[in-house]
Amino acid sequence: MFEGLSTRLSGILDRLKGRGALSEADVQEAMREVRRALLEADVALEVVRSFTDKVRDRAIGAEVIKSVTPGQMVVKIVHDTLVDTLGSEGVAIDLQAVPPVPILMVGLQGSGKTTTTAKIAKRLFDKQKKKVLMASLDTRRPAAMEQLAVLGKQIGVETLPIVAGQTPVQIARRAIEAGRLGGFDVVMLDTAGRTHVDEALMIEVAEVEKVARPHETLLVVDSLTGQDAVNVARSFTGRVNVTGVVLTRVDGDGRGGAALSMRAVTGKPIKLLGTSEKMDGLEDFHPQRIAGRILGMGDIVSLVEKAAESIDAEKGMAIAKRMQSGQFNLDDLGDQLDQMLKIGGMQGLMGMLPGVKNMQKQISGAMDDKVIKRQRAIIHAMTPWERRNPKEIDGKRRRRIARGSGTQPEDVNKLLKMHRGMADMMKAMGGAQGKRGPMAGLANMFGLGGGMPQPTPEMLAELQQKMPGGLPDKMPSLPPGMPGGLPPGFPGLGGGPKLPGLPGFPFGKKK
């Protein structure tokens, strides 16, 4: 969603960073371009004015103009102001109340309330081990209650039995009572929506709120509607005690204006982002991380968190051990490709790595997720014996595999060559444990040796100064399958462009 704005802002700030000295006129010109970029991203006019005024006032100060690196100082000021605009600190769903804790979901029809209700319920059930009850209060939209019941079965969360003829207020009262009698921790109430904000909708929501007395009232808005999402939020906050906002369809081609304007206009924090239609497609909203993505600084913390959730730690350790002994076969490679797709594929990974944003277009061919999917198809077209014995695959077998996977024999050859190179390198790295030299260092990077060294306070202090947003209070831990920061057998080890920050780590080219 932020891709267009990120490209524009990164280009403007890169030009500033390339200059040895900055004048007041340079800053004024850059702020005009920033203002134009924000308006084109559909950010509210009052938010744009406030943002550019804050940046200009701080950037024209003597400490910036006379700084040794004035461009870097301006980037830091833009980053900090962007974080303030987005809300400074991330705000999680508050469950600190006597159970069952009622959570009321409100919003317009088509914004994704029902799906988001199920996503939050799954999140609470899986991550926080809460016993959740979902109830649909939508008595108008056909099959709305049945939709929530189906989603409940998919995610393993209980739903309130449907009783025909009841009003939303009666259903809400019954849901709270059922939650109390059933020993539930959380009761989620999915209200009805309309195609536009009207008085009848507001009266119904207010009546439900009076009966349920929710601890959290989450407003679900569609980020693709741009400034209209902000207008909807303003209308709801005037009538209902909204405690937070959930932005859906963030993975779409919206321009990001709703996210940047929401907190400043409504005063309500964005708590969650809907990133896909899948039930696990929900992310916490962290202003510092989002600001880093917008400015092309990456988001390593979110990447590590996503990897920790998606990667099978036991399988990763088993593969790592086989790598050390040179027993890395095509089944193992297939598992690594699957895990890569689970954490967002190559495009998603590149978007979260610092310094890669500006070179994504140049390496887009090598980073295409279609390459990984094609490699998975080739592996699936092989027999189990062939996957365990790739050295025995002759020309006749390669032609058959190519026909079965819808590819060319050259694609099969490239995959086998890539696998052979990975297996040889991993075996050499495994044999380098306890020794000195470049392979021992590479083995440590992959977790095949002594692992990464523990950072000293001096190292953390130096890194703190280099990062505009600062280091988070607590970094998430890596799963055992990723001891060195990347999954064992990272795919694409052919010839190709090298990424900054990953020395000697090439990726395969797309022919």
pLDDT in tens, 96-134: 999 899 999 998 888 889 999 999 999 999 989 999 999
Q: Determine the Cα–Cα distance for residues 498 and 492; give it in Å rounded to an integer.
A: 11
Residues 229 and 157 in one domain: yes
For residue 446, the one-letter residue type is F
Residues 240 and 259 in one domain: yes
User: Is 250 assigned a ligand-binding role in the annotation?
Assistant: yes
| Residues above pLDDT 70, as percent of the chain | 69
Dihedral sign of CA atoms 401, 407, 409, 415 in order? negative
User: Is 244 assigned a ligand-binding role in the annotation?
Assistant: no
User: Is 251 assigned a ligand-binding role in the annotation?
Assistant: yes
Judge contact between 12 and 30, C-beta under 8 A.
yes
Asked, for residue 108, whether it belongs to a domain, the answer is: yes
Residue at which a domain ends, from 26, 60, 86: 86
Judge contact between 381 and 371, C-beta under 8 A.
no
Beta strand 158-159 pairing with 216-222: unpaired
52-61 contacts: CB < 8 A, separation 24 or more?
54/81, 54/84, 55/31, 55/81, 56/27, 56/28, 56/31, 59/27, 59/31, 60/24, 60/27
What pLDDT is attached to residue 74? 79
- 307-345 confidence digits (pLDDT tens): 666 666 666 677 667 666 667 788 888 887 877 777 666
Q: What is the mean pLDDT of residues 281-293?
A: 83
Q: Which residue has the tokens 């819808």?
A: 406
Asked, for residue 63, whether it belongs to a domain, the answer is: yes
What pLDDT is attached to residue 451? 38
Residues 53 and 174 in one domain: no
At residue 235, φ and ψ (nearest 5 deg) are -65, -45
Of the pLDDT bands very low, low, confident and very high (cuts 50, 70, 90), residue 82 is confident
Count up the domains in the chain and report the number.
Answer: 3
User: Is 66 assigned a ligand-binding role in the annotation?
Assistant: no
Residues 138 and 210 in one domain: yes
Asked, for residue 485, whether it belongs to a domain, the answer is: no
Q: Which residue has the tokens 């109430």?
A: 189
Residues 171 and 231 in one domain: yes
For residue 355, the one-letter residue type is G
Distances (CA, A) of 6 to 62, 118, 262, 343: 28, 31, 18, 21
Element (H, E) at 188: strand 186-190
- 131-146 confidence digits (pLDDT tens): 999 999 998 888 889 9
Question: What's 454's DSSP letter?
Answer: P
Asked, for residue 420, whether it belongs to a domain, the answer is: yes
CATH code of the domain containing 321: 1.10.260.30
Asked, for residue 345, whether it belongs to a domain, the answer is: yes
Judge contact between 213 and 102, C-beta under 8 A.
yes
Q: Determine the Cα–Cα distance for residues 12 and 16; give it in Å rounded to an integer.
A: 7
Residues 291 and 344 in one domain: no
Asked, for residue 18, whether it belongs to a domain, the answer is: yes
Q: Determine the Cα–Cα distance for residues 490 and 78; give it in Å rounded to an integer.
A: 35
User: Is 112 assigned a ligand-binding role in the annotation?
Assistant: yes
Q: Give the domain extent around 331.
A: 307-352+369-429
Q: Which residue has the tokens 């002994």?
A: 325
Asked, for residue 202, whether it belongs to a domain, the answer is: yes
CATH code of the domain containing 275: 3.40.50.300
What pLDDT is attached to residue 309? 60
Distances (CA, A) of 268 to 238, 261, 290, 511: 12, 11, 17, 49
Among the residue ranges 119-133, 181-195, 490-504, the one predicted with the least confidence is: 490-504
Residue at which a domain ends, from 23, 56, 86: 86
Does residue 51 register a pLDDT over 70?
A: yes
CATH code of the domain containing 39: 1.20.120.140
User: Is 52 assigned a ligand-binding role in the annotation?
Assistant: no
Residues 311 and 290 in one domain: no
- SS3 state at 272: strand
User: Is 339 assigned a ligand-binding role in the annotation?
Assistant: no
User: Is 107 assigned a ligand-binding role in the annotation?
Assistant: yes
Judge contact between 148 and 136, C-beta under 8 A.
yes
Asked, for residue 486, whether it belongs to a domain, the answer is: no
Residues 334 and 277 in one domain: no
What pLDDT is attached to residue 504? 37
Spell out a b/e string for 428-437, using b for 16 or more CB atoms within 10 Å of the CB, else e: ebbbbeeeee
Q: Determine the Cα–Cα distance for residues 441 and 432; give it in Å rounded to an integer.
A: 9
Residues 124 and 256 in one domain: yes
Among the residue ranges 16-25, 34-43, 188-197, 235-244, the one predicted with the least confidence is: 16-25
Residues 135 and 206 in one domain: yes
User: Is 249 assigned a ligand-binding role in the annotation?
Assistant: yes
Residue at which a domain ends, from 55, 86, 117: 86
User: Is 194 assigned a ligand-binding role in the annotation?
Assistant: yes
**Residue with the larger pLDDT of the pair 390 and 492:** 390
Does residue 440 register a pLDDT over 90?
A: no
Residues 128 and 263 in one domain: yes
Q: What is the DSSP string of 34-96?
A: HHHHHHHTT--HHHHHHHHHHHHHHHTSHHHHTSSSHHHHHHHHHHHHHHHHHTSS--PPP--
Residues 293 and 377 in one domain: no
What pLDDT is attached to residue 110? 84
- Torsion angle of alpha carbons 150, 154, 155, 159, nearest 10°? 30
Beta strand 244-248 pairing with 270-274: parallel
Beta strand 101-107 pairing with 270-274: unpaired
